[in-house]
Amino acid sequence: MSNQKKLILIADDDADYLFQMEAMVRNLGFDVKTADGQHEAERMLDTIKPDLAIFDLMMENEDSGFLLAYKAKRKFPDMPIIIASAATAETGFSFDMHNTDDRNWIKADLYLEKGIRSDQLHREINKLLKL
């Protein structure tokens, strides 16, 4: 395994959160590209292949993160995707990535509630990238 930095794409329409996540992930030692929404992230995926992606759930639409994950997995089936959302806090919806039905339509590898701590995020990224 080369020690080249892994590239992580973060998409979120909340500029403050995007800035915080970018800083956190950079501090963990990764290269980062950011997109301010689903459509920009889709355009970026035409030109780059991230090693991992972190998508907000609700961007342009309530299901932007799911749509983005679906499209990204069709293009890069082996790219791990984390959905980060405050949807449970905002709507009461929750998703169980261990539930086969939820996994079949949510093309993400992990669902995290926003407010994740740096050490927890680092563990999850390393696990998904098998570092």
Residue 1 pLDDT: 43
- This prediction's pTM: 0.86
Q: Where are the domains of the chain?
A: 7-129
> What token pair was written down for 129?
């990238």
Over residues 24-50, the pLDDT tens digits come to 999 999 999 999 999 999 999 999 999
Closest CA to 54 of 28, 80, 93: 80
Unique residue bearing structure tokens 């992930």: 25
Percentage helix, strand, coil for the chain under 3-state DSSP, each rounded to 5: 40, 20, 40
Residue 94 pLDDT: 52
CA 10, CA 88: separation in Å to the nearest integer?
20
CATH dotted code for 7-129:
3.40.50.2300
Task: Report yes or no: 97 and 111 within 8 Å, Cβ to Cβ.
Answer: yes
Over residues 65-119, the pLDDT tens digits come to 989 999 999 999 999 999 988 765 555 555 554 555 555 556 788 888 888 899 9
